[in-house]
Structure 1
Amino acid sequence: IRPEVGATSSIIFSYFMELEEKISPELGATLIFAIESDLAGAAGTPATLDQMALSSLTLIADTHKLYQMRYVDLPQSYYQAYANALSTATYFDQAMISHLGTIDSLEKPAVLADFLLRFDKVQWSLTTAVHESRLAISLRTNNPKLSAGELMRRLLKSIGEGGGHRTKAGGFIKLENGTPSEIDRLRTVLKRRLLRSLKIRMSRGQKLVT
């Protein structure tokens, strides 16, 4: 475990260097994209290894492949997820909470949690969504004093499973029947636990977009 490194793929890059294994242009493009994706979220300031990896990989990466990864065509469901996130996003002092509805891809809550964390008034972003028979939860933070992984475990105590690292965490709650009332009840529990942990009053909520 190397918590000081911002991207997992930077660590993978270091293994290639230690073993003196050649990195192909295609793999170089993939590693750059993965590192950029991690650092674009809540990973914080790039560590020395992240910077070294990006500098080295840029010299060998297949630029066409990298362009295709960065600007892949998106289905309508992505835009719907963004619309749902913005329409439900509410911030309570330093904490943002949003819900995406039913999703077809588990990456969407993570992507939207990263996106909403960029709002300049918050340090925490919690996004929920329904995926199959579970409520998926993604948590992001740029607060250096409290770990997202630790807070996620508090949020899901006795009701679900989850964990993570300092800046990123995720988890699930198994739904009994998936009715709107059950989902609303669980989201209310998560909201109360989040705000209580951060010592924020429930009455402080403001809509992000009106």
Structure 2
Amino acid sequence: MSNFSKWDELKGVIRPNDRILCLIRPDPDSIASAFALRTLLLRRVESVTVAYDEPSKRLQNRAMVKLLRLSLESVKSVDVSRFTKIALLDAQVNRFPDYRDWTFHLAFDHHPFIEEYPYLFADIRPETGATSTILAEYLAAAKVRISERLATALCYGIKTDTDDFQRHTGRADAEAFSRLFPLANYHLLQSIDQSEIPFRQLDFMDLALHRLRVKKRRAVVHLGAAEAADIAVIIADFLIRVSGIEFAVVAIIAGDKLILIFRSRNPRRHAGRIAFNHFGEIGSAGGHAAAGRAEIPLPQVPSEVKVFDFDSIEHWIEKELGRPVKTRAQETNPS
């Protein structure tokens, strides 16, 4: 289906009196995508509000919001009943298990299709490297003027989710970036990128390097507890670049969840499928070939596992990864 057809389809479900809530798990791609959808629809509906389900503590996300002067609200501070439609950006319903009783109407995502859901409209493209790419295509189809701030946000969303075009990148991502980059502020992009690792989090890097054990080119490391999982993402991205490591799992406890970050550079070890097949029954899990994630509520962790014991968590993850499972393959978008 062409971009113009998808845009026409989306227009068919939008009403002038709609008040739309965009729900995101804040990262550069979801933030940029949400503000792109806001720009796309703002003159066609009554209002568009962007809300996050949990605050982002990662410096690059906060720098992006601050430098680009973007307005985000906590979903806990909004009255959901006043919205006529709820849109998911860079996510599907499985990413928001706490809101299963809500009705979601729109979904835009580049992650593998997880489950059937009766959205009014959905555009889910696992072959695309970033949701920012998808929304950039809608802006082009609708001939919407893209501001410098929005172009910068979308460029950064594409840049981060494709890891500077080193993983899961399609032609659409390169084309979108080439259209957006001349409109973006290069200095702002640099400023956001340089706000990466808080000094106090270097302790986690030290811990990871001291605990690092590699078996059959696979590294599994538990970092203990932290305010957020962002440092686990940074360390997983670092480990997968180390010679001799083809698959990495970094675990961390953030809030009331055990979060596992998966990275792979072995085509036969699909990070998202491994996360989904081994941990999807006790939490939210999935991802792409090179990058996956599982979020497991602490009460769902098996009782024999001591969640605050580094060895216990690492041993359990190794055991689970070595356990044969019936493949619970993530489907592609049937449309």
Using the size of structure 1 for normalisation, the TM-score is 0.80
- 8 Å contact 1:42–1:142 — kept in the other structure? no
- Report how far residue 72 of structure 1 moved: 1.9
Kept in 1: contact 2:247–2:269 (CA 8 A): no
Aligned positions of 1:44-123 closer than 5 A = 44=167, 46-72=169-195, 74-123=197-246
CA RMSD, Structure 1 to Structure 2 (Å)? 2.7
Which stretch has the larger CA shift, 132-141 or 66-75? Answer: 66-75
What does the per-residue CA deviation read over 1:25-68, in whole Å, with 9 as the maximum and x for residues that have no partner?
A: 11111111221111228962531111112212220101232121
Q: What letter is aligned with 2:228?
A: S
The letter for the 1-side match of 2:257 is R
Secondary structure at the aligned position of 1:187 is classed as helix
Which of residues 191, 198, 206 in structure 1 aligns to 2:318?
Answer: 191
Q: Per the alignment, in what secondary structure is the counterpart of residue 122 of structure 1?
A: coil
Return the alpha-carbon distance in structure 2 between the equivalents of residues 42 and 56 of structure 1.
15
Structure 2 residue 275 is the aligned partner of structure 1 residue 152: yes
Q: As a proportion of its length, which structure holds more helix?
A: 1
Deviation for aligned residue 1:146: 4.1
Q: Which has the higher mean CA deviation after the structures are superposed, 11-20 or 183-192? A: 183-192
2:255 maps to amino acid: E
The farther-off stretch of 71-80 and 92-101 is: 71-80
Unaligned runs of 5+ in 1: 198-210
| Residues 48, 97 of structure 1: alpha-carbon distance in 2 compared, 3 angstrom cutoff | same
Name the CA shift for 1:11/1:54 in 2 (closer, same or farther; >3 Å).
same
Q: Do the aligned partners of 2:280 and 2:286 also contact (CA within 8 Å) in 1?
A: no
Name the CA distance, whole Å, in 2 between partners of 1:135 and 1:119.
25
What's 1:163 paired with? 286
Following the alignment from structure 1 to structure 2, what is the Cα–Cα distance between the partners of residues 168 and 45? 9
User: C-alpha distance in 2, partners of 1:41/1:125?
Assistant: 20
> Could you tell me whether the CA contact under 8 Å between 1:97 and 1:125 is conserved in 2?
yes
Task: Specify the code of the residue in structure 2 equivalent to 1:108.
Answer: I
Letter of the structure 2 residue corresponding to residue 106 of structure 1: A
Cα 1:93–1:56 shift into 2, 3 Å: same
In structure 2, runs of 5+ residues without a counterpart are 1-123, 325-335
Q: Give the CA deviation at 1:10.
A: 1.7
In structure 1, the partner of 2:333 is: none
Q: Which among 159, 173, 180 is matched to residue 308 of structure 2?
A: 180
Residues 136-193 of structure 1 deviation map (CA, whole Å, 9 limit, x = unaligned): 1111212333432221123326544422233222112333597634x54333111122
Residue identity in the other structure for 1:180:
F
Alpha-carbon shift at residue 73 of structure 1 (Å): 6.5
Q: CA deviation at 1:4?
A: 2.0
State the alpha-carbon separation in 2 of the partners of residues 42 and 65 from structure 1.
19
